[in-house]
Structures are given as structure tokens and as C-alpha cells.
Structure 1
Amino acid sequence: GPRPVLTPRAGRPVRDIVAIGVSTGGPPAVQKVLSQLPADFPASILIAQHMPAAFTGPFAKRLDGVCRITVKEAENGERLRPGTAYIAPGGKHLRVDQKISMVEVVVTPEPTEALYKPSANVLIESVAQAMGRRTLGVILTGMGSDGLEGVRVLKQKGGRALAQSDATCVVYGMPKAIVDAGLADEIIDIDDMASAIMAGLYK
């Protein structure tokens, strides 16, 4: 049956931004993870899901209906808030910009030459550069290796990285790339990913 909703532990998390890269088989995996998080989840979540432009808005809306956290399609210039997941609009990239007192969401067509739009590499590298060790990177099911270069930067900056397990992936491509490169701190079944993300905020 459905897992219990998790409770954040006391005290400030060490990490307060989660960057997720996902492709083939992604929507059910993302729903499984986000629907287990509590309304007072103490971090922001940014998601690069390979998906055509017309689909990301309805996808975000559907998730918002089944999750306790807020889920929305990312809008350029909005402020990053805890307890909120931002889905990259299809056909564009999602980045962040560290302002003096806040972090701003950036939605942009650049780089135009990226293989995927949104690109997990562009997202994760941007978050790692802006937030450093405050970042938790998560690579879920997907074909190819998008996310590998971003996670490499994330690890150099002191971030932590989780990979979905082979047994629970539709396609073990993107997580396999970071596992094979020795960049994954933990390999997690999708049913346990929400708890691993909660715990990972404090590690």
C-alpha cells in the first residue's frame, strides 16, 4: 500500500535544494517520490524531466493535485521556496541564479545546442555552481547519460548524489552512468527514494 508520509527532523537541514534529472519512465517515478514528501519539506526541488513542451504544465498540475508539497511548472524570475517542486518547462532549460538574499529560478533556451531540453546536466551544474554543498542531486530512470557531467561538478562542490537502483528503473542508463563513474553516494530503490532524499538533506 502507500507509504506513510515522512516527517522532517528537527534542526536546519545541511542541504536545502534538490536537483533531479530523469528521462524514460520518469513520470511515475517522480510521482512516487514527490507524493511521499510532507507539506513542510524543508528544501526546494528542481526537476529536469525530458518531456515535450505541451506536457510539462499538465504534468506539474497533476502532481500538485496528488502531493502535499506544491508542484508547479517553473517560471523565469520566480523565487525558490521550500516545500515546492519546480518542473522545467519542456523545450527550455532550468537553472538558478543566486541573488543576495534569495535564489531565483531561470528558465532559458540557452544552451541551444544541448542534446536535451530540459537538460539534467544544465540544471544540476547550475545548482551546484550556485549552491555548492547545499545541493542534493538525484538521478532517476532514463536512457543515456544526461546528468553525469552535472553530478561531476556537484561532487566537486561538496554536494551529495543519489542514484535510482537498476532493479527499479524502467531504463538503467542515467543512474548507471553516475554509478559507473563512482559519483553516487547511495543507490536507492524508487520506493525508498523519498526517505533517502529526506535523510540526505541532513548528511
Structure 2
Amino acid sequence: MLRAVLAAAGKQLHAELEPLDADVRAAIARVAAQPIADRKAVMHWYWLRGYVGADYRVEGVAAAELLGAPLPVDHLDIALADEPAAFATLVCPPSEFWARLSVRRHTWSFGYPRLRLGADDREIAKAVAGLRDVLRDECPDGTFWMANAGCRARVRLVPPDEVGSYVEVATPEGVVRVAPLHEIESTDPRVTRVLRVLREDATTARPGERSG
């Protein structure tokens, strides 16, 4: 029946076999051929890096994109060590602008202690303590959103040892710490498929190594 309908319209079906996951591998190859600066995660990192403490790692889809996955990215997921030093760059960033913090992505930002460049250690310690109090009240689950210049990150406060496992990705905006490929997970079947192919190819490229 379908063939007759198509024939009446001057059309026909044509099926062509291709290797499994060939479309994903072709997309991965296109990403690899482009400058890493073109990846959306790099743009978000450029505008937010000044607010991120030294002990962190980028996770989720953004981490996968930085590692070469052809996936859409509209924010970063950052695991940040929950320790005083991690908050110093938020209360006293290396620029004249402060990040906007909010409980959820599209809610109003909340206030927190802010200092100008040149603040001394005592002032910074006091502001950091104040910020931690604010986060404890506003974000009891330890998760908040950070924004600047239209770029966003969902920040998750974690024990310091949780960010100890990472790989470094060199970008024009400096080295970015990202979660290892075998630790990146997703509930989205499309993302899961891309991650699986990336892991398979990584194993093939490095015989004898485990991809996780």
C-alpha cells in the first residue's frame, strides 16, 4: 500500500545500511576538527572562571563536550570543594564585577557579602563566613546557580576529595579540570549513546587501558 501511494506521488523508498553509530562518530569527528574555542562550554568557562575556586571540576554534559562530545551545552555543571578557600573568589573576584547567585536558574539573584579588590585577609574571611551562612539559608541542598554575562553554571558544593579525580583540558582560556569520561553519566538516552561511543573509541585508541 505504501509503495503504491509513493509511486503515485512519483516517489520511492531507499534504504541504505551503515555501520552502527556511524552518525555519532561522524559528529565526533566534526567536533575534533573544529577549534576547541568554538565549544560552548569554553565560552561559559571564560565568563565564569574568575569566580571558581581552585578546587573544582566541570561535570555532566559540559565536561563531555570539552572532551569532544557533540552535545548541546547551555550551562556548566561545576562541583566545588566546600571549604573557605573556594568562596574567596566569589566574595572578592579578580575583577570589578561580581557573579549573580540564585537558588534556581531563572529566579531572582540573592544578596551576599562582596568586597573590592585589595581587601585584606580578615575582611575576606569575614565575607566568606557570611556567604556560607547565606548559602546555608538559601540553598540547604548545597546547590546554587552562578551567572555572568549571560553564561551560567549550576554549582554543587561537595567534600574536597570528590573533586580530586579529574583530567585537564587545555583551552584558549586556560586549563579546565573536567570529570574523567568514565565518571560522566546522564539519564538522557541520546547523551548516553554519545558517551558510550566516546568511551569505545577511547579504549580502541589506547589498547590495554580501561575506559571505565
**Structure with the largest fraction of strand:** 1
Bigger CA radius of gyration: 2
TM-score (norm 2): 0.28
TM-score (norm 1): 0.28
